[in-house]
Amino acid sequence: MEINKAEIKIQIRQAKEGKQSAFNFLLDLFWNNVYGYQLKRVSNEHEAEDITIETFSKAFDKIDTYNEDYHFNTWLIAISKNIQIDKSRKKRASIQSRTTDATVEQVKKIADKDPSPEDKLITEQNLAELLQFIKQLKPHYREIITLRYFQEMSYNEISNALDEPLSNVKVRLLRARKLLSEIITQNR
């Protein structure tokens, strides 16, 4: 299905209103663009993935500042580029602290109140089969799925356990659920 500019604008407006499905749509549509851009810049899959997660986290926190006169992809790439530059500077300066500009109010806007289709699929699967699928995920995705669904930790508890900003935890979990759903679908 071809996605036109009008549909993207509708989804952006819905995201600005806090609709979770709009965030999912934008993440799915633009993930590969941002990830591919970062992979070319940093030449490291794990680092590119981390920067991409932070990019979406920051973009979703700041979605109200997005100007619709510009392409959403361009805005995401600019955020991604700035995050990568900041990380490079911090590496050179040997500063290891991680920060986010997100306020509690902004983070709540992307909170997932209802179970998504991926959540329902996860809970309905046979546990042994599900564990085999989870083992196919990269370790940091496997870890966040385990913390959320097997140890039943809240987003805040996961954030504290991983020493990650809450918004990063939400985006990483969203991505992990999507990848797990794709693995399950491919094996059906």
DSSP 57-74: HHHHHTGGG--TTS-HHH
With a CB cutoff of 8 Å and minimum separation 6, the contacts of 140 are 46, 172
Q: Position 168: which residue type?
A: N
Q: 69 and 139, same structural domain?
A: no
Q: Is residue 78 part of a domain?
A: yes
19-37 residue pLDDT tens: 888 988 999 899 999 999 9
59-71 residue pLDDT tens: 998 999 998 888 9
Q: Position 40: which residue type?
A: K
The confidence band for 97, taking pLDDT boundaries of 50, 70 and 90, is: very low
SS3 per-residue string spanning 81-99: HHHHHHHHHHHHHCCCCCC
With a CB cutoff of 8 Å and minimum separation 6, the contacts of 129 are none
pTM exceeding 0.95: no
Q: 122 and 73, same structural domain?
A: no
Q: 74 and 35, same structural domain?
A: yes
Q: What is each CA distance from 95 to 88, 90, 182, in whole angstroms?
A: 10, 5, 37
Q: Is residue 161 part of a domain?
A: yes
Q: Is residue 101 part of a domain?
A: no
Is 2's pLDDT higher than 70?
Answer: no
At residue 96, the pLDDT reads 41
Interatomic CA distance for residues 154 and 98, integer angstroms: 21
Q: Which of 46, 62, 93 is the last residue of a domain?
A: 93
Q: Quote the DSSP letter at residue 187.
A: T
Q: 78 and 13, same structural domain?
A: yes
In terms of residue numbers, what domain contains 62?
5-93
**CATH label of the domain that carries residue 119:** 1.10.10.10
Scored b (16 or more CB within 10 A) or e, 156-175 reads eebbeebebbbbbbbbbbbb
